[in-house]
């Protein structure tokens, strides 16, 4: 296998490249950003996936057997599809490069659970109810993949809410709030959400890349872990980081804090909670992972093991996020 990864300097990409290098795989990371780890620099090439000529030339020169397309803008701050050109036009450029490279046997294209958010498990692969403009851009990603006329085996993956080392936002948001003792959980109602530890996701990606072609060709596969109650996930991190469980307060109080956060945000002042985060904290988004687990088998990390691994990463790269003396 020769594996070309787009966006290998990002969150999932960094973890994937790390695993591939440990397994001594032949790999090339094409990304507009340099790698987060110095040991990844030898397999990185500065390529903008919107640059069709450079991307195609780079792909043909490397002659990969597998292409794993992760490159994307992943925040939800954009207000127009034009803000997500890397996801829409960028995916088309990647697919064109694949078609121009005879060596490619398989391509894995990354979509998102956000193509149908807060609606549970979609009725079928074409049941779209996108959440945010980012979600809309990923619907177009999936449609472009189907329309590309690929002759190689292709698979679309939909990551759930992925967490773990090198996450772009959690260190400065959720984990920072936990470390400062500012997190409050909204009520005791049962909120079940779909999460995925990033190293389980990279394991699943490579399982798909190695799987019998007829079992993954043209499939849409969710990647992540079994849904979990939000308070269990939050408590796992809180205990590991601070030695304490989270405080549970009435939901109405958290809602009031969220409104205050909106007002402060409009004045340019950051606040730990806003209405958007309140919605996320109080709305379930569980999707059935049974088809994924039946196909790929169980992932290697439990929730507890993933949290331990992530907190160990914090201790090395973000030590201010771990205040639990017993964990030092």
Mean pLDDT of 293-312: 97
Q: Would you state the pLDDT for residue 247?
A: 94
Query: For residues 256, 254, 76 and 287, what is the CA-based torsion angle, rounded to 10 degrees?
Result: -140
Nearest to 294 by CA among 196, 215, 199: 215
Instruction: Report the pLDDT value the prediction gives residue 117, as an integer from 0 to 100.
Output: 76
**Cβ distance 260 to 271 under 8 Å?**
yes
Percent of the chain with pLDDT over 90: 86
| Element (DSSP H or E) covering residue 63 | none
How many other β-carbons are positioned within 10 Å of the β-carbon of residue 151? Answer: 11
- Tokens 């993949």 correspond to 145
Residues 6+ apart with CB under 8 A from 167: 11, 198
Per-residue pLDDT of 113-158, as tens digits, reads: 999 976 667 889 999 999 899 999 999 999 999 999 999 999 999 9
d(C-alpha 113, C-alpha 127), whole Å? 12
CA–CA distance, 156 with 46 (Å, rounded to integer)? 25
SS (H, E, C) 302-324: CHHHHHHHHHHHHHHHCHHHCCC
Least confident window among 1-10, 45-54, 187-196: 187-196
Q: In this structure, what token pair is assigned to residue 59?
A: 């792909």
* pTM confidence score: 0.94
Residues 58, 101: Cα–Cα separation, whole Å: 10
pLDDT band at 255 (very low <50, low <70, confident <90, very high): very high
> For residue 285, what pLDDT band results from cuts at 50, 70 and 90?
confident
């Amino acid at each position: 296998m020769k594996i070309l990864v787009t966006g290998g300097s990002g969150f999932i990409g960094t973890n994937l490249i790390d695993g591939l290098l440990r397994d001594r795989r032949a790999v090339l990371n094409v990304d507009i950003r340099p790698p987060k780890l110095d040991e990844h620099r030898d397999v990185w090439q500065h390529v903008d996936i919107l640059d069709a000529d450079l991307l195609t030339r780079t792909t043909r020169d490397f002659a990969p057997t597998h292409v794993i397309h992760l490159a994307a803008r992943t925040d939800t701050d954009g207000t127009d599809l034009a803000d997500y050109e890397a996801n829409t036009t960028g995916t088309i450029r990647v697919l064109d490069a694949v078609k121009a490279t005879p060596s490619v046997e398989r391509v894995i294209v990354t979509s998102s659970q956000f193509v149908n958010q807060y609606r549970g498990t979609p009725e079928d692969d074409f049941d779209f109810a996108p959440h945010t403009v980012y979600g809309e851009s990923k619907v177009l990603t999936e449609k472009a993949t189907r329309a590309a006329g690929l002759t190689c085996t292709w698979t679309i993956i939909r990551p759930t809410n992925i967490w773990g080392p090198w996450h772009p936002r959690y260190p400065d948001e959720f984990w920072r709030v936990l470390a400062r003792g500012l997190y409050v959980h909204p009520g005791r109602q049962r909120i079940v959400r779909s999460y995925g530890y990033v190293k389980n996701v990279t394991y699943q990606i490579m399982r798909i890349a190695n799987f019998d072609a007829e079992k993954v060709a043209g499939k849409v596969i969710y990647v992540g872990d079994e849904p979990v109650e939000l308070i269990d996930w939050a408590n796992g991190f809180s205990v590991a980081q601070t030695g304490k469980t989270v405080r549970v307060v009435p939901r109405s109080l958290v809602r009031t804090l969220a409104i205050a956060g909106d007002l402060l945000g409009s004045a340019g002042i950051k606040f730990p909670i806003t209405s958007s985060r309140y919605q996320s904290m109080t709305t379930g988004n569980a999707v059935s992972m049974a088809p994924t687990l039946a196909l790929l088998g169980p992932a290697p990390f439990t929730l507890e093991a993933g949290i331990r691994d992530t907190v160990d990463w914090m201790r090395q790269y973000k030590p201010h996020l771990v205040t639990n003396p017993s964990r030092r």
